[in-house]
Structure 1
Amino acid sequence: MRVAFFVGNDVTSHLIVNQAFPRILEAGHTPYLCYTRQRPAPRAEPELRELFHYERGLLDGCVYPYLDSLPAPLHGTFLSPAGIARLHRGAVVVRSVEDVNSPEFVASLAADGVGVGFSVRCYQKFRLPLIAHFSPEAGAEPLFANLHPGILPQYRGVLTFARSMLHGEAEAGFTLHRVDEDWDAGEILATCTRPLDYGLSVLENMWAQVDPAVDLLLAAVDEAAALGRWTGRPQQAELAGYYSHLDRSDLERMSRAGIDLMRPQSVLAKLVDSFTPPDSPEGLRLGGILTGLTSRRPGMAPALG
């Protein structure tokens, strides 16, 4: 079975996909890793621009170029898209996709027989021709799901772990739901939750749930392979809440509550620990590069040292 993953350009989605695709290979399937890109919002609040830099900018602008400059991919660690393509040539298909809804791209999925799809923090809006492509037969529900970081239907939208912490929730989690043309509104396939730790940042709380999120994906792959369908349940519209980006008042409330969007040290440590072997020369070198890069940003103290 050929399975497409539409992957955002953030640390969390790359951790999830790096953990998931080897197990999908072991099950005899062919992963298509379709990397997409979210661009920074020029008018975003400073805290959100800083989050974008740490969560997305460092990965594409520093970590992956460094890894790709090495003579060979680092076995036993998570890999860059280019590293995956090199190390798993012929077993994994790696693509950079500018527009997931382009007729040419949808036609390429059809030509390759890609029948199951997952979005992992891809911020492009999926349109009907792409969604319909994943229907196993005319009129059937598509085998196309979104791994949403938030409990649905209460937490639709973006940065829902931050919203959950602002609301003092005891737990948060990921929801796997069927993709339709509305944001985060398709029927729910599965949910995983864990207690929130208010001593950690929003980003760290999301990373703490990578393992169960991967399990949701793998269970859906197994079900599609075995049954050719998924069983879900409609969302309760009366419970739905949709959240857009945090505004200044939200960020000030978070600050008063002592909630951090992210902690620089934890992001850099996560990048080094995930993409290089422990105590390796490559890890020390990457840590030094990241520390130098972030310590030169206005107002930022060195994060590793």
Structure 2
Amino acid sequence: MRAVVFAYHNVGARGLRTLLAGGMRVELVVTHPDDPGETIWFDSVAAVAAEHGIPVALVDQAVDDALLERIARLAPDYIFSFYFRRMLPASLLAAARIAALNMHGSLLPQYRGRVPVNWAVLHGEAETGATLHVMEAKPDAGDIVAQQAVPILPDDTAKDVFDKVTVAAEIALWGVLPRLLRGEVPRRSNNLAQGSYFGGRKPEDGRIDWRQPAQAIYNLMRAVAPPYPGAFFDLNGRRFIVARARLARPEVAALLPASASAGLHLAQEQILAKGNDGGVIHILELWAADHPGQPLSAQHLSELAGHQP
């Protein structure tokens, strides 16, 4: 069986390796040029393709006519999309002789759309996973081909969960690959009425609202923790990023008096935050936005802020 693979990021790299290990013949890999303005903390699909001598085409904004014609001439049995960041046009999907399949980072039909892992953590889910599904013009709407669940532990960050989802994607693909190589595509309905759809997130969406309950604030901190842009707050004209936190243990939470208001506090050299429900978050690592990666002590935070929060 012959395939064209559209891929990027860790799931793209692992998906490509899985196809090759299982015996799929990959004729062409299409990936994105890395954005110099983005922190590249993930694997290179182009490097994996180069290791295996597979031709690579780069797509930034959209698949152009020349690439469409090139793929049509290849007449692949399958087209795979593994975390490729652009929608593939219907004319391209039709070029696959058997099926065009996409790997999505959730348990469809839940969390269709963009950045599904971050949304799942933000909403406090206890489980997510990876779903291989048939591609249609509507995003994440086609029949489900394979699926693998993973747990979300209470203190997992989005990066922790994304690493699990990468493995889940590999397991799901590996399990169904023998059937795909025989030209069989198992399908079950992807009932969109039972699911949910979410759009992309912007760095500004990481702004902390101390009026929220502590669990909701903590979920935001986990959902956008580095290497994502991070949950942040502004204090005396300075911006600070929460790099690492957890819900405070009882003995730590007890450092704050019951009368403490919702918001940021310093207590016995600890940086604490109180939600509007009385719950307390222990901020374990805090950065100044203009010096990312450099942890601040409670004393340093007080000096930068100009007063004791």
Q: TM-score range by the shorter chain?
A: 0.5 to 0.7
- Structure 2 CA distance for aligned equivalents of residues 256 and 98 of structure 1: 35
TM-score (norm 2): 0.63
The number of equivalent residue pairs is 229
Secondary structure in 1 matching 2:128 = strand
Give me the whole-angstrom Cα distance separating, in 2, the residues matched to 1:192 and 1:5.
Answer: 21
**1:88 alignment partner in structure 2:** 52
Asked if the contact 1:172/1:196 (under 8 Å) is kept, the reply is: yes
In the other structure, the counterpart of 2:109 is 153
2:198 counterpart residue number: 243
CA-to-partner distance for each residue in 1:65-115, whole Å, 9 max, x for gaps? xxxxxxxxxxxxx76624642x433xx332223466433212212322322
Q: Distance in 1 between matches of 2:59 and 2:114?
A: 22
Instruction: Classify 1:152/1:38 alpha carbon distance in 2 versus 1 (closer, same or farther; 3 Å).
Output: farther
2:127 — aligned with what?
171
Q: What runs of 5+ residues in structure 2 fail to find an aligned partner?
A: 229-286, 296-309
CA contact (8 A) 1:2 1:32 kept: no
Instruction: Please give the alpha-carbon distance, in whole angstroms, between the structure 2 residues aligned to 1:20 and 1:205.
Output: 20
Match of 1:198 in 2: 154
Q: Does 1:230 align with 2:228?
A: no
Percent identity (aligned): 19
Alignment of 1:1-305 (within 5 A): 1-8=1-8, 10=9, 12-17=10-15, 19-24=17-22, 27=23, 29-30=25-26, 32-36=28-32, 53-54=38-39, 57=40, 81-82=46-47, 84-85=49-50, 87-89=51-53, 92-98=54-60, 101-136=63-98, 143-226=99-182, 228-246=183-201, 252=208, 255-257=217-219, 258-264=221-227, 298-302=290-294
Do the aligned partners of residues 126 and 81 (structure 1) sit closer, same or farther apart at CA in structure 2, a change above 3 Å counting? closer
- With over 3 angstroms needed to count, the CA separation of the structure-2 counterparts of 1:219 and 1:107, relative to structure 1, is farther
Residues 221/98 of structure 1: CA separation in 2 closer, same or farther (3 Å cut): farther
Distance 1:170 1:31, change over 3 A: farther
Q: Does the CA contact (< 8 Å) of 1:34 and 1:96 recur in 2?
A: yes
Q: Which of the two has greater helix per residue?
A: 1
Q: CA deviation at 1:201?
A: 1.3
5+ residue gaps in structure 1?
41-51, 60-77, 137-142, 266-294
Q: Please report how far the alpha carbon of residue 260 of structure 1 lies from its aligned counterpart in structure 2 after TM superposition.
A: 4.3
How big is the alpha-carbon RMSD for the aligned residues of Structure 1 and Structure 2? 3.2
Cα distance, 1:107–1:154 mapped onto 2, change above 3 Å:
same
1:167-210 per-position Cα deviation (integer Å, ceiling 9, x unaligned): 22211111111000001111111111111023231022111232
Report which structure shows greater RCO (CA 8 Å, sep ≥6): 1
Q: Deviations along 1:20-44, whole A, 9 cap, x unmatched?
A: 25414xx26235321135869xxxx
| Rounded Cα–Cα distance in structure 2 between residues aligned with 1:238 and 1:22 | 36
Query: CA separation of 1:135/1:189 partners in 2, compared to 1, >3 Å: closer, same or farther?
Result: same
